[in-house]
Amino acid sequence: NAGVTQTPKFQVLKTGQSMTLQCAQDMNHNSMYWYRQDPGMGLRLIYYSASEGTTDKGEVPNGYNVSRLNKREFSLRLESAAPSQTSVYFCASSGHGIYQETQYFGPGTRLLVL
């Protein structure tokens, strides 16, 4: 039981390049989330998926797109990376059993945009 996994762990991009951050969970959770964390700040929600087949914007969605590929996987895409998107990206999932709101986080993807 790996929990929430994210790939890649690190990535360096040039301005204007695109990339997709992958996230997968093996806990049979219904909901999945993408957050970003800038240095010295708390996490901010980018997008979330309450259930398979649905996605919704969070606090800071501009510049990102998401795909809920199936119940296990939720990807985050940067179509044209900008230096302002340099951050650590965390994926999370929730929604099984009694504590349906408790979120479990992955280890993060560290992204540097030059």
Partner 1 sequence: DAKTTQPTSMDCAEGRAANLPCNHSTISGNEYVYWYRQIHSQGPQYIIHGLKNNETNEMASLIITEDRKSSTLILPHATLRDTAVYYCIGLNAGGTSYGKLTFGQGTILTVHP
Calculate the alpha carbon distances from 78 to 26, 56, 81, 86, 100 in Å: 25, 16, 6, 11, 29
**Smallest distance, partner 1 to C-beta of residue 113, A:** 19
Could you say whether residue 44 binds partner 1 (CB under 8 A)? yes
- The CA R_g of the chain, rounded to the nearest whole Å, is 13
Of the two residues 17 and 37, which places its CB atom closer to partner 1 in the complex?
Answer: 37
Could you say whether residue 105 binds partner 1 (CB under 8 A)? yes
Amino acid (one-letter) located at 35: Y
Find the Cα–Cα–Cα–Cα dihedral 83, 89, 13, 41, rounded to 10°.
30
Binding positions for partner 1, 2-41, rule CB under 8 A? 4, 31, 33, 35, 41
Q: Are strands 87-94 and 109-113 parallel, antiparallel or unpaired?
A: antiparallel
Of the two residues 17 and 38, which places its CB atom closer to partner 1 in the complex?
Answer: 38
Residues 71-90: x where in contact with partner 1 by CB under 8 A, - otherwise, as a string = -------------------x
Residues 46-75: x where in contact with partner 1 by CB under 8 A, - otherwise, as a string = --x-x-------xx----------------
